Chains A and B, each alone.
Chain A
Amino acid sequence: MSISKLSHAEAAEQFIKDEPRTDWHDETLWFVRQKRDKAAHGLPEWEKLREWASQIKDHTLSNLDNYLKEFESKAQDNGVIVHWAADGEEHNRIIYDIITHHKIKKIVKSKSMLTEECGLNEFLHAKGIETVDTDLGERIVQFRQEAPSHIVLPAIHLKKQDVSDTFHEHLHTEKGNNDPQYLTEAARQHLREKFIESELAITGVNFAVAETGGFIVCTNEGNADMGAHAAKIHIACMGFEKMIPKAEHLSVFLRLLARSATGQPITTYSSHFHKPREGQEMHIVIVDNGRSRQLGRADFRNSLKCIRCAACFNTCPVYRRSGGHSYHTAVAGPIGSILNPNIDMRANADLPFASTLCGSCSNVCPVKIDIHDQLWKWRQVLVAEGYVDTTKKIGLKGMAFVLARPGLYRFAGKAGRAMMRMFPWLLNNKLNPWYKQREMPAPPKESFRDWYIKNKQQ
């Protein structure tokens, strides 16, 4: 998978260079955001549901150890084999061991952002084992050797023409045929074959219920069911924050999830798995990979309430115009920008700054994560830990020095404005990022304070 080495700002600039495509990306996701608004407005109890969901998750995170143990023991009673993975590497090794133990050759996978986070596809590929992603969008980006650009709509950055070209190359469809029905049928035939052949199916988990030891997988394509029901072995992979205490709590989350994600009242398939069918083997891999560290950070633990609906992506004016790949991580968008610095602070130090702090993400979040406040707090942490550009540091130190000294501030202001009037080229040049596509404000001769002293204090 090609993960960009560019910073968010650099990758975003590349993306925006194709302005019509940027507009199309923005409008497509805005359309989804509007569908979400309509669906949410349809429920008078929407804000109450959000509050309940938030409280259930708060409670669960505060008692997570107990719920995880309860879940493990119930799942084992149901005949499920439970594994614990401290990090992505261990997660991948556990899966690899199951594969080699059973001498498996054919694997299907339904979309799981956790396996993306752990780099499972690359890991297995390097061992000579191919997995086939069965979510349509994910299959498209897999063909193109790209990462998903959105957690719910993995190929939303691609147009019909791109899909047609990709399918022509990999599925030998007719060149230039952009008909969605034709292309979908080609994908359907291709995937049907993979489902039938598969010996092992890997799925994600949307919710794991401590009370029953069961788990729920939500898809719109039914691909998780197709994979899990056809294969001899089913491995479900989950981050440990997927836990909810009781089955009855599902009603709150299932009502919020699809409405927030796509504006649908509910996902097409909400599949409940409790035990392996006769002759089948069922595994659950419960992954930490930095989650316990995040749980221990008082300012950021709330981020673990996330149910991966991507409403914050769709509403984010920055995400819509920069594309998911600019976030160079498995989970992009505003929520990714508060989750990823926890996984690797140095590599993801740019992400909390890829926001205007407009606050729309926190408003749409169905579990009330204070996303934009956490972005602000991450900035403080990253600067304190030294993960900040030296130029920026020097600039802001200088700024703070001047702004704390009224006399110096006035002198600098007056001198600056005079310089701007006399030598406009000092700022009106390509070294000034403001000036690249914007005019500078016209510097007045007199500050407000000068005017005030002259007109009000005589």
Chain B
Amino acid sequence: MKVGLFIPCYIDQFYPQVGIATLQLLEKLGCNVSFPLNQTCCGQPMANSGFAALSKNCDKNFVANFRGFDYIVGPSGSCVLHLKEHLHDEQHPGEAQHIRKHVYELTEFLVDILKIEKLDASFPHKVGLHNSCHGQRGLHLSSMSERMLPAFSKPQQLLSMVKGLELSLPVRSDECCGFGGTFCVFEEAVSVKMGKDRIADHATNDVDYITGGDVSCLMHLEGILKRNGSNVKTVHIAEILNSSL
């Protein structure tokens, strides 16, 4: 199984440890992983700001990097959702279509394709799970409180395999953290208020860490936590699933 590792631009630049954990985890689980060296960004920042027309060359670059893989896996639900919904390449429509159908968010890939039932991981801490909207509502990584459908959660299923981890959910288990791409700067006040409220909801559970499948949400929450001198830390789910004592 040839897996192309997709590390979104801001993870590449600011959170290399998330890329490393994702790669090591996939390799541990027997995947033949390569990281195409000329990848940049999925194009989402432009598209969500109304400039989808400007992301054409970005799309082209993505297709050039990721054609020919059986699966493409990335540790970010929101970037993966963008690719699934919007990736186009006029010169290589077949390849773009293949990528759209075979691009997976990490936890989705572990549960649905690799069908992982046990993990050799240990993370003896109190952890709060933040359900990121694009992963949850867009990729259906877990059930949603608004819908009257049976409950499930792919990230939770994986976290339950980690030794020593004590998981808790906030009361509003699937409310948005307020990051929202460029929303976080153009609607700064609402964005921060939403983030503060998410943190307060987790804080009532006395967690050591907040985790999730999207670095963007975690980066936003981390920024607020650090500014307020909190002891609560953020950690991407790949780092937990890859950790051992």
Contact = CB atoms under 8 A, between A and B. Distances in A.
A399 interface: yes
A453 B57 contact: no
A187 B35 CA distance: 69
B40 A363 contact: no
A8 B186 CA distance: 10
Interface of A is mostly: helix
Interface of B: 7, 9, 11-16, 18-20, 23, 35, 37-41, 43, 45-55, 57-58, 60-61, 133-134, 137-138, 144-149, 172, 174-176, 178-195, 197, 219-220, 222-224, 226-227
A53 B176 CA distance: 27
B15 to A, nearest CB: 7
Given A397-B54, A417-B13, A16 B189 contact: yes
A439 B227 contact: yes
Interface in A402-442: 403-406, 409, 413, 416-417, 433-434, 436-442
Contacts of A416: 13
A356 B183 contact: yes
A403 B9 contact: yes
A26 B194 CA distance: 10
A28 interface: no
A399 B46 contact: yes
A383 B16 CA distance: 33
16 contacts: A9-B190, A46-B148, A47-B148, A47-B149, A357-B133, A380-B53, A383-B53, A400-B58, A404-B40, A404-B57, A406-B38, A413-B13, A433-B185, A439-B222, A439-B227, A444-B15
Contacts of A19: 193
Contact of A438 (B23, B53, B134, B192): B192
A107 to B, nearest CB: 38
A356 B188 contact: no
A364 interface: yes
Interface in A357-406: 357-360, 362-364, 376, 379-380, 382-384, 388, 392-393, 396-397, 399-400, 403-406
A417 B13 CA distance: 8
Given A409-B9, A434-B223, A353 B186 contact: yes
A406 B61 contact: yes
A364 to B, nearest CB: 5
Contact of A359 (B23, B133, B189): B133
Contacts of B23: 452, 456
B176 A356 contact: yes
Contacts of A37: 145-146
Contacts of A46: 148
A354 B14 contact: no
Interface stretch (A144-152, A194-202, A316-324): A316-324
Contact of A396 (B18, B45, B137): B45
A185 interface: no
A131 interface: no
Interface of A: 8-9, 12-13, 16, 19, 22-23, 26, 30, 37, 40-41, 43-44, 46-47, 315, 317-318, 321-322, 352-360, 362-364, 376, 379-380, 382-384, 388, 392-393, 396-397, 399-400, 403-406, 409, 413, 416-417, 433-434, 436-444, 446-453, 456
A224 B20 CA distance: 64
A402 B7 CA distance: 17
Contacts of B189: 9, 12-13, 16
B15 A441 contact: yes
A379 B53 CA distance: 11
B137 A358 contact: yes
Nearest to A36: B146
A404 B149 CA distance: 41
A433 B188 CA distance: 6
A447 B174 CA distance: 31
Q: 4 closest Cβ contacts across the A-B interface?
A: A356-B180, A438-B223, A404-B57, A379-B50
B22 to A, nearest CB: 9
Given A318-B190, A356-B176, A438-B195, 19 more contacts: A43-B148, A318-B194, A321-B190, A353-B186, A354-B190, A356-B133, A364-B146, A379-B48, A380-B50, A382-B50, A383-B49, A396-B51, A400-B58, A404-B58, A437-B227, A438-B223, A444-B16, A452-B35, A453-B37
Contact of B12 (A356, A400, A447): A447
Nearest to B191: A356
Contacts of A405: 40
A358 B133 contact: yes
Given A41-B148, A441-B222, A403 B15 contact: no
Nearest to B60: A404
A23 B196 CA distance: 11
A357 B191 CA distance: 12
Contacts of A383: 49-51, 53
A12 B41 CA distance: 31
Contacts of A406: 37-40, 61
Nearest to A11: B189
Residue of B45, B50, B186 contacting most chain A CB atoms (<10 Å): B50
A372 B197 CA distance: 22
Contacts of A23: 197
Given A356-B178, A358-B137, A441-B222, A321 B49 contact: no
B154 to A, nearest CB: 17
Given A359-B138, A404-B57, A409-B41, A47 B49 contact: no
A21 to B, nearest CB: 12
Given A355-B180, A439-B226, A451-B16, A400 B55 contact: yes
Contacts of B16: 444, 446-448, 450-451
Contacts of B11: 448
Contacts of B144: 360, 363
A133 B234 CA distance: 51
